[in-house]
Amino acid sequence: MSTPILRQLQGPAHTRIYAYGAARGENYVPNDDLVGPIDSSDEWIRQRTGIVTRVRAAAETDAIDLASEAAREAVEKSGVDPSDIDAVIVATISNPKQTPSASAIVADRIGANPAAAYDVNAACAGFAYGVGQADALIRAGLAKHVVVVGAEKLSDIVDPADRSISFLLGDGAGAVVVGPSETPGIGPTIWGSDGSKADAVGMNHTLTEFRDGTAPWPTLRQEGPTVFRWAVWEMVKVARQAIEAAGIQPSDLAAFVPHQANMRIIDEFAKQLGLPESVVIGRDIETTGNTSAASIPLATHRLLEEHPELSGGLALQIGFGAGLVFGAQVVVLP
């Protein structure tokens, strides 16, 4: 008996980002509100990180609420009917329930049920991972329209007395709709990991240790200087690779949106990449803080509101964080 040949799917040649959506935590928390338990000061935090205030969500708001709000805005602006969304990818490390996924609930809430839905655990690189996957899923014919969300409520997994990280983190979500395009709108994704540095940033305890009473509620902590050096030395190379892979020059960029981890890292990137003055740089960290997977789409959403002339221009985005993991690509701004 001869085996029938399977039909294979083939999608469109190109994809692009149609629209962005954003949701920030309801409360602004200035440095002075956090310095007590970490023996710090407003001045130290401003000088070392560029953060003046960060957004944090109300107790009753969770990462799924933030994700749904951001996704709803992105879908509305995209003009895509929610029933035409085939996949919803939520990048998050702060959904306190392991299962069900945040993405299945978000898909249902935005009217995309029965879209495929799954969460991505790639910390601050999660959004760039998600955009890379959306691009690949569509070009492979597995989906036509994909919603990618980065969503975090980090304030639930922060120890207010941990001076390595507590003052950095904020809550929010950013989302995009990705779909077919006549011309290339998402450049090749450069992504990877280095698990030999898994201890540099992440949770300090497991849930089973917490259950057994041998450890307190798990929270995020980091070896700040280790991550700082890795970001400045290794991530600049990744950013350069993303530019080269896209076949462009740094001077072709309209915007640069790195993960909002520290203003000094952002400044160092811009210097080492030799970005011309004309490139607009995302500096959302100043008033939003570090929102991990949400930081890149939140910063881009703000840039597009403040600089509508960026529409149609090229933006380099790069995320990096716990894993360690990294992801970068050049995209055409909607």
Ligand X SMILES: CC(C)(COP(=O)(O)OP(=O)(O)OC[C@H]1O[C@@H](n2cnc3c(N)ncnc32)[C@H](O)[C@@H]1OP(=O)(O)O)[C@@H](O)C(=O)NCCC(=O)NCCS
Buried b (16+ CB within 10 A) or exposed e, 242-262: bbeebeeebeebbbbbbbbbb
**40 binds ligand X, rule: CB under 6 A:** yes
**Cα–Cα distance for residue pair 160/114, rounded to 1 Å:** 40
User: Of 84 and 234, which CB lies nearer to ligand X in the complex structure?
Assistant: 234
- Polymer length of the chain: 334
Q: From the list 290, 300, 317, 329, which residue makes contact with ligand X (rule: CB under 6 A)?
A: 290
Annotated catalytic, 145?
no
For residue 52, the minimal CB distance to ligand X (Å) is 14
Determine which one of 31, 259, 262, 301 is catalytic.
259
Annotated catalytic, 95?
no
For residue 303, the minimal CB distance to ligand X (Å) is 20
* Under 8 Å between Cβ of 23 and 173: yes
Write the CA distances from 37 to 31, 100, 203, 215, integer angstroms: 12, 35, 20, 20
Q: From the list 15, 49, 103, 181, which residue makes contact with ligand X (rule: CB under 6 A)?
A: 49
Within residues 80-119, the interface with ligand X by CB under 6 A covers: none
* Under 8 Å between Cβ of 110 and 90: no
For residue 287, the minimal CB distance to ligand X (Å) is 17
Question: Whole-angstrom distance between the N-terminal and C-terminal Cα of the chain?
Answer: 52
Within residues 256-285, the interface with ligand X by CB under 6 A covers: 261-262, 265
Which residue type, as a one-letter code, is found at position 11?
A: G
Within residues 51-70, the interface with ligand X by CB under 6 A covers: none
Q: Which stretch binds ligand X (CB under 6 A): 26-34, 36-44, 76-84, 204-212?
A: 36-44
Annotated catalytic, 290?
yes
Q: From the list 167, 191, 269, 326, which residue makes contact with ligand X (rule: CB under 6 A)?
A: 167
Q: From the list 17, 23, 124, 257, which residue makes contact with ligand X (rule: CB under 6 A)?
A: 124
CA 272 to chain centroid: 22
Q: From the list 163, 197, 205, 307, which residue makes contact with ligand X (rule: CB under 6 A)?
A: 163
For residue 124, the minimal CB distance to ligand X (Å) is 5
**In 25-103, which ranges are E strands?**
27-30, 53-56, 87-91
Nearest-CB residue to ligand X? 224
Write the CA distances from 19 to 35, 109, 150, 177, integer angstroms: 37, 18, 14, 6
**291 binds ligand X, rule: CB under 6 A:** no
Residue 163 tokens, joined: 């001076």
**224 binds ligand X, rule: CB under 6 A:** yes
CA 37 to chain centroid: 28
* Under 8 Å between Cβ of 294 and 152: yes
**38 binds ligand X, rule: CB under 6 A:** yes
Residues taking part in catalysis: 124, 259, 290
Site residues, ligand X (CB under 6 A): 38, 40, 44, 48-49, 124, 163-164, 167, 201, 222, 224-225, 227-228, 231, 261-262, 265, 290, 321
